[in-house]
Amino acid sequence: MSTINPGNPEPGATHPSATIIRPNQPPVAFLQRPVVCTLVVALLIGIGIVRIVSTYHVFNHTIDEDAHLACGIQWFQNAYTYDPKHTPLARISIALLPYLDGVRGYGDPSYWQEGVLELSSGGHYWRNLTLARIGVLPYFALSTIVIFIWTRRVYGTATALLAAGIFSMLPVVLAHSAVATTDIPLTAFYVTAVYAFTLWLSAPSWRTAAGFGIATGLAIATKLSTLAFLPLTMVGVLLLYFASKQRTSAPGNQDRERWGIANVRGVMRSIGVGLICVFLVIWAAYRFSHAPLNKFSPAPDKIASRVFGPTSSAARVVHVLTATVQLPAPELYNGLRDLRDINRLRPRSYLFGRVKEGGWWYFYPVAITVKTPLAVLLLALIGSVSLAVSWIRTRVDWQRPVPLVAALAPIVAAAPTKLDIGVRHVMPVFAFLAMLAAVGVVRLWNCLPARAHDSPTDSRAALLAGRSAVVILLAWFIVSSARAHPDYLSYFNELGGSNPANILVISDVDWGQDYTRLSTYLSEQQVKHVSIASDTFFDPATLGFPETTLLQCRETATGWIAIEERRARVHPECYQWIASQPLKDYVGKTMRVYYIPEPAADQR
């Protein structure tokens, strides 16, 4: 009976004795050919892009898309003062095509309103939105390619193709690849950075050190959560590295002696090269901006005045220095400060029907559990257990369990944060889950418990059971992914139940994406006026709404009323007046629609 060839591990790697891998005549040998691999990966990316683009005109802009566009357009106009808590690289990509198409800023003090104005620029709302969303597609492709390359290097070609395929079909990945936001760009560069780190550990040189530095700089320049996720991932990988019996396939080479972690000088050289690359990439993303020290912080001037006296010569010297000495990228400092302040504010979070200021440490494990297809979760669990058991028993190849560590690190890093507003904030986890699930497929297809007393008939039956399980799980996953179309954003697996909003809602169910559907519904009902309770900045006229009133908290209305699911659940105190009213309809996945008749004249 034939098997899937798990690939060619690095020299020195051995398979654990607890399993038997039966490499008869691999039917996938043709997949080893570079041309075939390239075509298959290109096909997977192409299918994914078709599915993504087909949702563009189904959904209006989500809550964050207009803001990211406004910030990107501002960057092209030589400033970056809007919302610096996000670094600019992804926003540059989002704004590139709209800017080249003639979209310019309006100077509105609110970047939310500015983004709405820019989307509506020239009366070409859908064109501008589509151009912005196209800016994310290269990152979807890059993520898939890096996952394939990394997985092929460590586990083999068949596993790599499976990993790329699983990633490209995950509903949460398709959802966030279809919107002009920063989460898929972060995934692309973060996965690249972790992979580059393993390359440096495996084969230290100035090239791999520089590659790691550039990839890290790109990830930080895309989203500041890299600063929380990557160090913890690196620590976990280093623990694997030092605990392994065999750390490299080429011990004693000159580059390892000069650039590796075998000596202090090697570490310092690599850190130096890496930091220079990180710094230059991030600074370039901010157009090599700079500002005097006193623009970063008034603390030096205040301390000098307090210590030496405000009119002293020493205080004047300090003041001159702080006004003269230039520091790079003041926007980065402002962004870090804004993130700190937002975390301290403890914005509202929602989980299991409860609203809380701040969040829950278990928010992201729950979100990942209900937003990932169950078949993928089961396969990833099999892959994780297989890799963990194999490494614990042999401690031979530290690179094989790295995806497991890399999947856990962002979840651990995000646990203490107070910003639990969507699984998208740990989006890189899904890349590593895809790799682990692919490992699980191959293990389940090829491996049997090593029981000496098994008869050939029992072995064949067990092997057939494993392969049947693979077919069932992959079919289940493919069907789940297909059925999610086009509502990838609000996808939940079977654990989500009939109303997933009872579990999660903020950007996992409702991100303000259903106003196009609501507009169509109101038009079909020939509604002349509607009152809307919304968290989304949008232009009603642009989306074809009738006369529209935006309801404030606790403001009542009669006639046609629409309330976002997100708004109703996160701010329930605002809508107690309508809670007892019957729901007339539910539009899309997120819009509650009510109709409250005008009171009779004698009841007024």
From the list 382, 411, 387, the residue with the least C-alpha distance to 399 is: 387
pLDDT band of 28, cuts 50, 70, 90:
low
Q: pLDDT digit string (tens) for 534-573?
A: 999 999 999 999 999 999 999 999 999 999 999 999 999 9
Instruction: Decide: 336 and 87 in contact? Cβ < 8 Å.
Output: no
- To the nearest whole percent, how much of the chain has pLDDT over 70? 90
Tokens of 92: 């540059």
pLDDT at 257 over 70: no
pLDDT at 1 over 50: no
pLDDT band of 449, cuts 50, 70, 90:
low
Backbone phi and psi for residue 530, each to the nearest 5 degrees, phi listed first: -140, 145
Mean of the pLDDT values across residues 141-165?
A: 97
Most confident of 32-46, 123-137, 312-326: 123-137
Mean of the pLDDT values across residues 237-258?
A: 69
Task: Give the lowest-confidence range in 85-89, 265-269, 270-274, 455-459.
Answer: 455-459
Give the CA distances from residue 584 to residues 562, 563, 594, in Å, rounded to whole numbers and listed in that order: 10, 12, 5
Task: Give the lowest-confidence range in 2-11, 222-231, 552-561, 593-602.
Answer: 2-11
Cα–Cα distance measured from residue 390 to residue 258, given in angstroms and rounded to the nearest whole number = 32
- DSSP H or E stretch at residue 410: helix 402-414
pLDDT of 63: 94
Instruction: Decide: 385 and 535 in contact? Cβ < 8 Å.
Output: no
pLDDT band of 376, cuts 50, 70, 90:
very high
Helix, strand, or coil (residue 350): strand
pLDDT band of 246, cuts 50, 70, 90:
low
pLDDT band of 22, cuts 50, 70, 90:
very low
pLDDT of 392: 93
Better-predicted residue by pLDDT, 283 or 25: 283
Mean of the pLDDT values across residues 355-367?
A: 93
- To the nearest whole percent, how much of the chain has pLDDT over 90? 73
Cα–Cα distance measured from residue 387 to residue 325, given in angstroms and rounded to the nearest whole number = 52
Backbone phi and psi for residue 449, each to the nearest 5 degrees, phi listed first: -60, 140
Which residue's structure tokens are 């290109």? Answer: 42
Mean of the pLDDT values across residues 298-308?
A: 85
pLDDT of 315: 81
Give the CA distances from residue 352 to residues 417, 492, 495, in Å, rounded to whole numbers and listed in that order: 18, 14, 12
Task: Give the lowest-confidence range in 190-199, 444-453, 555-564.
Answer: 444-453
Better-predicted residue by pLDDT, 28 or 536: 536
pLDDT at 74 over 90: yes
pLDDT band of 13, cuts 50, 70, 90:
very low
Q: How many CB atoms neighbour CB 279 within 10 A?
A: 15
Query: How wide is the angle at C-alpha 554 spanned by C-alphas 553 and 560, nearest 5°?
Result: 90
pLDDT at 223 over 90: yes
Q: pLDDT digit string (tens) for 310-330?
A: 888 888 888 888 888 899 999
From the list 219, 200, 217, 175, the residue with the least C-alpha distance to 491 is: 175
Q: Which residues pair with 354 in a beta bridge?
A: 351
pLDDT band of 454, cuts 50, 70, 90:
low
pLDDT at 139 over 70: yes
pLDDT of 595: 95
pLDDT band of 262, cuts 50, 70, 90:
low
pLDDT at 360 over 60: yes
Q: pLDDT digit string (tens) for 264-274?
A: 777 888 889 99
Mean of the pLDDT values across residues 483-505?
A: 96
pLDDT at 522 over 50: yes
Better-predicted residue by pLDDT, 554 or 342: 554
pLDDT at 309 over 70: yes
pLDDT at 24 over 50: no
- DSSP H or E stretch at residue 331: helix 330-345
pLDDT of 183: 97
> How far is C-alpha 339 from the geometric centre of its chain's CA atoms?
17
Q: What's the chain's average pLDDT?
A: 89
Task: Report the amino acid identity of residue 331.
Answer: E
Tokens of 324: 């003269």
